[in-house]
A = this chain, B = another copy of it.
């Protein structure tokens, strides 16, 4: 509880009775900001945990076979906790179903933002997407099994995002064709096939299987580069 040395931007802390810190006006503001950010951190953590348990239960028992009470019980909580963060079971399903697509879009964006040749972008993009699939195996299984349970608007939203993802992959392929790096007869079909071999990992991947996440990511990105006729 010593005041920090000179040069540190935080003002020296006053101490009240029993060594409990009394906050200065500056500190009060900072603390209130920190509390707010801490609160939103906690809220985000709770949301994440609810989604994790919902996903696990939807994966194991199916969407229809899982109630909000089941999810609350799995968290040692009650239904109001869930209602504090989600409107209904459908919203949970929507969040679970769109998760992998959103993360894959992010992976593609990151891969492209780093620049370099089309080949480098493709390798990074595929590696990123493989990791998303491996880490969202249950989400993907729930998405593919249960997406028919989604309300139409939510289903369309996910489908639009998936089309955007295909389009982003295709864009990298087209860039590579334009630069002379890739030789691809049908970039649209190639994008679907690259996306397909990556997505299908959700079906066969096993934790502690023969190949690690990294080995799969490397191997699959190499194959993607071969599909596009890129130099290996």
Q: Contact residues of A with B, CB < 8 Å?
A: 62, 64, 144-146, 148, 185-186, 188-190, 192-201, 203-204, 210-211, 216, 219-220, 222-223, 226-227, 229
Name 6 A/B residue pairs within 8 A (Cβ), A-sorted: A64-B64, A186-B211, A189-B219, A190-B219, A190-B223, A226-B227
- Distance between Cα atoms of A216 and B197 in the complex (Å): 15
User: A145 to nearest B CB, angstroms?
Assistant: 4
Expressed in whole angstroms, the Cα–Cα distance for A190 and B190 within the complex equals 16
Given A145-B144, A148-B62, A227-B227, A196:B203 Cβ within 8 A = yes
CA–CA, A146 and B229, complex, Å: 37
Q: Which residue in B146, B193, B229 is a CB contact (below 8 Å) of A220?
A: B193
A215 vs B195: C-alpha distance when bound (angstroms): 18
- Distance of A174 from chain B, by nearest CB (Å): 16
Partner among B62, B197, B204, B219 whose Cβ is within 8 Å of the Cβ of A186: B219
Report A227 CB to chain B, min CB distance, Å.
5
Contact (A189, B211) CB under 8 Å given A197-B197, A226-B226, A227-B227:
yes
Q: Which residue from chain B places its CB closest to the CB of A228 in the assembled complex?
A: B226
B residues near A186, Cβ cutoff 8 Å? 211, 219
Q: Do B188 and A196 touch (CB < 8 A)?
A: no
Distance, CA A190 to CA B222, complexed state (A): 10
Residues of B within 8 Å of A188, CB to CB, are 210
Shortest Cβ distance from A197 into chain B, in angstroms? Answer: 4
Inside 8 A of A196's CB, which chain B residues have their CB?
196-201, 203-204
Report the separation of the CA atoms of residues A144 and B142 in the bound assembly, to the nearest whole angstrom.
Answer: 10
- Cα distance A62–B58 when bound, in Å? 15
> From residue A186, how far is it (CB to closest CB) to chain B in Å?
5
